[in-house]
Structure 1
Amino acid sequence: MAGFKKFLMQGNLVQIAVAFIIGGAFATVVTAFTTVIMDLIGKVGGSANFSSYQPGGVHVGGFITALVAFIILAAVVYFGVVKPYEAFHERYMKEEEAAATEVDVLTEILGELRQGRGQGQV
């Protein structure tokens, strides 16, 4: 039972759960925004629902509607999430210095040994 509790309380599992919940809530907002944009497109250019569009008897209307909704959704995610995150990250997050590799550490030790700093100390 203790192992199961530890599994449930792992940081990654909790973070994934929070991300899933926030993602679901964000999807609702984006869907509502997409509906608004589709309605505006409908007011400007006629019907924004292309479901009944069948050139030559081929049902492509549903695909066109889904494609327009996808482009709107991608734009909302890119300009509403990705770009602000990148700007925040550039402005407030300092890039951490690269951690020294084994080769760097060994080269430094070798240099000190060659200079005689390591003699007499064990």
Structure 2
Amino acid sequence: MLTGFKQFIMRGNVIDLAVGIVIGGAFATVIAGLNDGILLPLIAAVFGEPDLTQVGTFMINGAQFSIGLFLDAVLNFLVVAAGLYFFVVMPMNKLAERRARGQEPEPAPVPDPDIVLLTEIRDLLSARRH
């Protein structure tokens, strides 16, 4: 039972997933800083409110609707998606392109010394006959 668990944990994809989660958590704080430090003050300057959830609220038959809540969620999604694209995906794509350009064809495999010796003997015997 413990051997199976150890094999599961030591798989590369599980470790990659764990690293991805940790990096994602750290990246979330960067996005929160961008949102709180730059975007929300910009929204406050435009709409007069630092939070979009208060923009466009109305009531119909006692039910409160908030267009701003939806806009806030869309804005947060776009900020996270743009941050991931420009800071993670695009640099990784550029790195992959550089690696692909720098790739050289694999060198031909070196034959075993026994094969080299037998080839030399064959060539010498062939040269003696002629």
Asked if these proteins are the same fold (TM beyond 0.5), I'd say yes
Residue 115 (structure 1) aligns with: none
Q: Contact conserved, 2:43 with 2:52, CA < 8 A, in 1?
A: no
Q: Contact conserved, 2:54 with 2:69, CA < 8 A, in 1?
A: yes
Does 2:68 match 1:67?
no
Which structure is larger by alpha-carbon Rg, 1 or 2?
2
Runs of 4 or more above 6 Å deviation: none
* 3-state DSSP of counterpart to 2:54: coil
Residue 31 (structure 2) aligns with: 30
Q: Contact conserved, 1:38 with 1:69, CA < 8 A, in 2?
A: no
Cα 1:60–1:18, aligned 2, differ >3 Å: closer, same or farther? same
**Structure 2 counterpart of 1:49, one-letter code:** D
> In the aligned structure 1, how far is the partner of 2:40 from the partner of 2:57?
23
Structure 1, unpaired ranges of 5+:
98-122
Residue 79 (structure 1) aligns with: 86
Structure 2, unpaired ranges of 5+:
60-64, 105-130
Q: Contact conserved, 2:52 with 2:72, CA < 8 A, in 1?
A: yes
Does 2:10 match 1:3?
no
Supply the RMSD in Å over aligned alpha carbons: 2.5
Sequence identity, in percent?
34
**1:75-114 equivalence runs, <5 A:** 75-94=82-101
What TM-score, normalized by structure 2, do the two folds share? 0.60
What TM-score, normalized by structure 1, do the two folds share? 0.63
Cα 1:84–1:51, aligned 2, differ >3 Å: closer, same or farther? same
1:43-90 deviation digits (Å, cap 9, x = unpaired): 541324121223553321211111122222222111222222211211
